[in-house]
Amino acid sequence: MASHRKSRTPGTRVAGIRTPALATAALTSVALLSQTATAAPTDDGKPSLEEVEKKVGDLYRQAESATEKYNAAKEQTAKQRKRVDTLLDDVAQRTQKLNDAREELGSYAAAQYRTGAGVPDTATFLLADTPQDVFDQRQVMDRMTGRQKEAVDDYVTQQSETMKKRQEATESLRTLTESQDDLKTAKATVQKKLTDARELMARLTAEEKARLAAIEKKKQEEAARQAAELARQQAEQQQAREEAARQDAGGSDGTGSSGTATSPSPSADSSYGTKAEKAIAFARAQIGKPYVWGATGPGSYDCSGLTQAAWKAAGVALPRTTYDQVNAGTTVPVSQAQPGDLVFFYDDVTHVGIYIGNGMMIHAPKPGTYVREESIFYDGESSVHSVVRPA
């Protein structure tokens, strides 16, 4: 897969992600692919089929990475636009108050003009451009009544606050422009990677495409085998927990013979189980809908859009991007994954699916595909980054 992915020593993943049995399965997968793929360069200088497969995979991975950056930029742009709108509304309201204060001062000036008292000073005051100019006219202030002074204070306050809010709005508009530029860049990157992948595939002959399909089939068969192995391990762990619970049931204090309380089953949290069922039911109902980058439903989804929508259906608000979703819960070993957990992929955490048990998940894989049920090892055991329990 992606050339930038860090290599790892089998059996040394954090949080218990990698197990010796699965590491062995991964090596078996590599051996099968090596036997099936055409590794040697062709005589005409064209890239080998294996190289094409890797390049296409890299391009789709890069497109998905750019999609998550697009999602983040889109979210930031929306937040910034909302802030700008709020500030502009505030500025408009403060400007109206400033105008009202100015009119009130004008009425005092008109009254002074009719009585012939202090016309020049008041006129000069009304032409002041800044709050400081107003304060500097002490002779005017000295001749004003208490109500007039209150009007001046109000005018000065409104002018100062309006100028401050206008500055904030200007800065927010600049930030909004930058966010919009980031959004355009991310969008262009996604489109370029997808175009490159399609063009690369278009150059393949029918025979080469058939061979690629055979490679993919072998890969998915191995992924299914790994999922079955994980399911077996999880079943054994569950059986051991149930056996421990039965032994503890004979004690009056809920502990084993050593007097130490046993760990509850991961499925003991009925509240989480209920929410997870709702999330999975929603995800399952989306199977067959197309992957569209940047989409959050209801007609199409990208990977994080699907998981966000699924957990929203269960009453849990997840962030928009994979980068944030991976931090929206508790990380658990893959061997202890429960239905409803989020499975993240790759070192840059750019893909996610929702675990449904038995080593399987529901996810929106990549452009050109549809939401589907698939082994969490669909891209090899090493691609699994972490498992997160979101609620």
Q: Which of 61, 94, 363, 389 is catalytic?
A: 363
For position 52, what pLDDT does the model report?
81
**Mean pLDDT across 37-63:** 71
Distance in angstroms (rounded) separating the CA atoms of residues 176 and 182: 10
75 pLDDT band, cuts 50/70/90, is confident
Q: pTM of the prediction? A: 0.65
Percent of the chain whose pLDDT exceeds 90: 36
Which range, 7-11, 117-121, 123-127, 348-352, has the best average confidence (pLDDT)? 348-352
Distance in angstroms (rounded) separating the CA atoms of residues 193 and 39: 24
> Tens of pLDDT along 351-374?
999 999 999 999 999 988 999 999
Cross-sheet strand order for the sheet of 351-357: 330-332, 384-389, 342-345, 351-357, 360-363, 372-375
Cβ-contact 353, 282 below 8 angstroms: no
Closest by CA position to 309, among listed 338, 330, 276, 283:
283
**Mean pLDDT across 138-146:** 53
> How are the residues of the chain apportioned to helix, strand and coil, as percentages rounded to the nearest 5?
65, 10, 30
Torsion of CA 128, 134, 139, 142, to 10 degrees: 130
Cβ-contact 361, 373 below 8 angstroms: yes
> Tens of pLDDT along 193-237?
989 988 988 888 888 888 888 888 999 999 999 999 999 999 998
The pLDDT of residue 39 is above 70: no
First to last CA, the chain: 31
Closest by CA position to 241, among listed 329, 385, 338:
338
339 pLDDT band, cuts 50/70/90, is very high
Distance in angstroms (rounded) separating the CA atoms of residues 374 and 221: 11
Distance in angstroms (rounded) separating the CA atoms of residues 320 and 12: 30
Which range, 30-44, 106-120, 305-319, has the best average confidence (pLDDT)? 305-319
**Mean pLDDT across 44-71:** 82
For position 134, what pLDDT does the model report?
54
Distance in angstroms (rounded) separating the CA atoms of residues 321 and 119: 64
Distance in angstroms (rounded) separating the CA atoms of residues 314 and 311: 5
pLDDT higher for 154 or 317? 317
115 pLDDT band, cuts 50/70/90, is low
For position 27, what pLDDT does the model report?
37
Catalytic annotation on 4? no
Residue type, 216: E
Q: Which of 165, 351, 366, 389 is catalytic?
A: 351
105 pLDDT band, cuts 50/70/90, is low
Catalytic annotation on 83? no
Q: Which of 279, 303, 334, 352 is catalytic?
A: 303
> Tens of pLDDT along 162-182?
788 788 778 877 888 887 888
